[in-house]
Amino acid sequence: MKTLGWVFLLWGLLASTALAEVSVFASLKERLIRDGLSPERVERLLSDPRVKFLPQIMPRKLTWDETKLPYQQFLRPKRLARARAFLRDYAGLLKEIEATYGVEKEVLVGLLLVESDLGRHHGRYEVFNVLASMAVSADWERVKPYLRRELSPEEEARLKRIMARRSRWAYRELKVLLELSEKYGLDPLALKGSIFGAFGYPQFVPSSFRDYAVDGDGDGRIDLYTLTDALASAANYLRRHGWRPGLSREEKKRVLMTYNHSEPYAETILEIAERLRGSEK
C-alpha cells in the first residue's frame, strides 16, 4: 500500500507540474494560434512533457554584461594549442572555405574557439524552452521573484523595458524556430543550445540559421553540428555583413561585432587570429 501511495503522490506531482507549465504558456499558445500556427500543432507542442518554463534564465538575461566576460581564457596556451592543432588538422577544409568566402581561416578558427570551444561545447538548454520562457517574460510579476528583492523604482522600470524588449525578440525567434522545424522536418524540442537560444558549433539563433546557414558539404542538408556546415555558415554570415579581403583591423572588428555586439568578443577573436598566423611563420 505504501508503494501505491508513492505512485499516486508522484503522479499528482507530475500532473500539477504539467498544469503549471500549461498555465505559464497559455498566453503564448493563444498568440501562436492567432499568428497562424495550427491549433492542433500548438496544442501538441505545448502539451509535450519536455516543455518547461525556465525561470532561472531571467536574472541572467537582465544582469548579463558581455564586457565583463573572461575572454582572456581563450588566449591561454592550452586553448591556443588546440586552435593550432585544429588549423593544422582541417587545413584543406579551412583553405577551401577561405577561398570561397574571403574570410581568413584563422578568424574562423578563432570564432569557433570562442563560440563553442571548437565544437566541444554548444549548450545544454533546450532552445525551445529558452525562447518560450523569454517570450512570456514580459509579464513582470512572473520575472520579479527571481531578481534581487530590493529594486529602486528607476531600476525596476529599466529592467521592465529590457525584459519587454527581449520578450518580443524571443517570440520572433521562437516562430522562426517552428518554421525551420516544419521546413526541415526537425523536432523543435530536441534542439539544445545556449541560455540565449543559440545552437550549433557557430551558435546561431534561429533567424541567423534561416538567413545565413549554408550547406557547406553539399549533402543536401544544413547541420550546424558538423564542421563543414558550421564553418561555411559562419564565413557566409561574416561575408554578408561586409567582410572582404583587405579590411583594416578596425573594419574587421566592426563586422565581428555584428555577430556579437561586444568589443571584447571581437578583439579576442582578432587576437587569436593574429597569434595563429604568427605561429605559422
- The three state secondary structure string of the chain is CHHHHHHHHHHHHHHHHHHHHHHHCHHHHHHHHHCCCCHHHHHHHHCCCCCCCCCCHHHHHHHCCHHHCCHHHHHCHHHHHHHHHHHHHCHHHHHHHHHHHCCCHHHHHHHHHHHHCCCCCCCCEEHHHHHHHHHCCCCHHHHHHHCCCCCCHHHHHHHHHHHHHHHHHHHHHHHHHHHHHHHHCCCCCCCEECCCCCECCCCECHHHHHHHCCCCCCCCCCCCCCHHHHHHHHHHHHHHCCCCCCCCHHHHHHHHHHHCCCHHHHHHHHHHHHHHHHHCC
Burial degree of 149 (CB within 10 A; 0-12, 13-18, 19+): exposed
98-118: per-residue pLDDT in tens? Answer: 999 999 999 999 999 999 999
Residues 147 and 201 in one domain: yes
Residues 164 and 257 in one domain: yes
Residues 76 and 206 in one domain: yes
64-109: per-residue pLDDT in tens? Answer: 666 667 899 999 999 999 999 999 999 999 999 999 999 999 999 9
Which comes out higher in pLDDT, residue 188 or 15?
A: 188
- In the chain, the amino acid numbered 116 is S
When the pLDDT of each residue in the chain is averaged and rounded to a whole number, the result is 88
Residues 145 and 41 in one domain: no
pLDDT at residue 141, as a whole number? 82
Residues 131 and 241 in one domain: yes
Residues 32 and 144 in one domain: no
Residues 70 and 97 in one domain: yes
Residues 197 and 159 in one domain: yes
For the chain, how many structural domains are there in total?
2
Which comes out higher in pLDDT, residue 9 or 131?
A: 131
Per-residue pLDDT, averaged over 236-262, amounts to 97
Residues 44 and 64 in one domain: no
Residues 210 and 246 in one domain: yes
pLDDT at residue 55, as a whole number? 81
131-186: per-residue pLDDT in tens? Answer: 999 999 888 887 777 776 678 889 888 888 888 898 999 999 999 999 999 999 89
Residues 38 and 89 in one domain: no
**Is 23 a residue whose pLDDT tops 90?**
no
The residue range of the domain holding 18 is: 1-49
Residues 75 and 160 in one domain: yes
